[in-house]
Every structure is written in C-alpha cells, then in structure tokens.
C-alpha cells in the first residue's frame, strides 16, 4: 500500500495532490483513472481494490515526505477547522470521518509530534515510539465519554491526509 502510494505520488504529483485535498474523491470515479496506474501495481492488468481512505493516506504520506518542510504546520492554530469527511454513509465512512477529525485535533495540538510520526517507516519500532510519544495528545483528542481502539494504520493515514490538507490550507492562506 505505502509503496503504491509512493509510486503514484512520485509519478502524478499534481493529480495526487488534488486527490488528497478532496473529500469527495473516490478511486472508482473516472476523473481519477490516471491515478490508478498499473505500472505502480507492477501488473500488466488488474484493478485497484484499496479503499480510498487508505489510498489517499498513503499518497499524502509520500507527498509530505517529498514536498513539505518540517515546519509546514507553523501557525496552524490560527487556521479555521477543515472538518474533513469521508464520502458515503455507514460505519466505515463514520469511522474514517472520525479518524480525520481525530487526526486534525492531533495535528493541531502537536504538529511536531505528528510530523515525527509521519517521518517514520510504517510498522517500525520508531513508528510505535512516535505513537507512544503522541499518546497524551491522542487521549486528549478523543471526545469525552467515547472509548475507542486505535488502529495504527488508520490513525497514521488519517493523520497524513489531514496534515497535508492543513499544510496546503496554511500555504494557500499565506498567499492570499
């Protein structure tokens, strides 16, 4: 998943950016045909079946690595909430939307800790350490009275998407 996101983000940077920045995008939509690249899947044919939440997060993770400085969220406290939502309805869409909202709180509360997490390799000991370091922030971002189990992959990919969107919004705001 992460290698595929890396390949797409490198091959189609502008299209990847547009995909990460929209809530409504689904990889089944014909406008995103170019983002599903068989060369990156290392297949001569086939179809991508990854959910757009994971795909978007993997691409965002790579775009952050390639295009954003460590200080990309400097001044994020003054930025209006982006309140991202995942398209669709039902439990998965609700969960993904919750992960985006949780990610926004975490990224705004601890931009440096969030970036430290995103700078780690997925499923590594350093990733686990970075998540542990963010634990107080994560706990503070979970709404009162709600308990939840954190899935590392969902949290990381939601954080990556939101981190990238916040950085883009900050850059856009400074140009206006």
- pLDDT (tens digit per residue) in 83-114: 999 888 899 889 999 999 999 999 999 999 99
pLDDT, residue 107, reads: 97
* Stretch among 52-61, 65-74, 139-148, 149-158 having the lowest mean pLDDT: 139-148
Cβ(161)–Cβ(20) under 8 Å?
yes
State the pLDDT at residue 144: 86
| Cβ–Cβ under 8 Å, residues 165 and 171 | no
Burial class (CB in 10 A: 0-12, 13-18, 19+), 109: middle
Percentage with pLDDT > 90 across the chain: 54
Average pLDDT, the chain: 85
127-164 pLDDT, tens digit per residue, is 999 999 999 999 999 988 877 777 899 999 999 999 99
Higher pLDDT, 126 or 51: 126
46 has a pLDDT exceeding 80: no
Return the closest-CA partner of residue 94 out of 165, 154, 138, 141.
154
User: Which pLDDT score, from 0 to 100, does residue 176 have?
Assistant: 46
Confidence of residue 25 (pLDDT cuts 50, 70, 90): low
């Amino acid at each position: 998943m992460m290698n595929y996101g890396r390949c797409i983000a490198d091959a189609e940077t502008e299209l990847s950016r547009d995909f990460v920045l929209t809530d409504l995008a689904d990889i089944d939509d014909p406008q995103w045909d170019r983002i599903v690249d068989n060369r990156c899947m290392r297949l001569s044919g086939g179809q991508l079946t990854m959910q757009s939440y994971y795909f978007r997060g993997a691409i965002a993770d790579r775009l952050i690595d390639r295009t954003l400085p460590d200080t990309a969220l400097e001044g994020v406290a003054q930025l209006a909430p982006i309140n991202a939502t995942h398209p669709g309805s039902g439990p998965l869409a609700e969960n993904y939307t919750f992960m985006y909202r949780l990610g926004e709180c975490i990224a705004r509360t601890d931009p440096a800790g969030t970036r430290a997490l995103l700078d780690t390799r997925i499923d590594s000991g350093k990733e686990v350490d970075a998540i542990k370091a963010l634990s107080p922030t994560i706990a503070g971002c979970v709404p009162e009275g709600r308990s939840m189990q954190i899935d590392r992959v969902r949290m990381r990919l939601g954080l990556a998407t939101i981190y990238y969107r916040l950085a883009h919004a900050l850059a856009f705001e400074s140009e206006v």
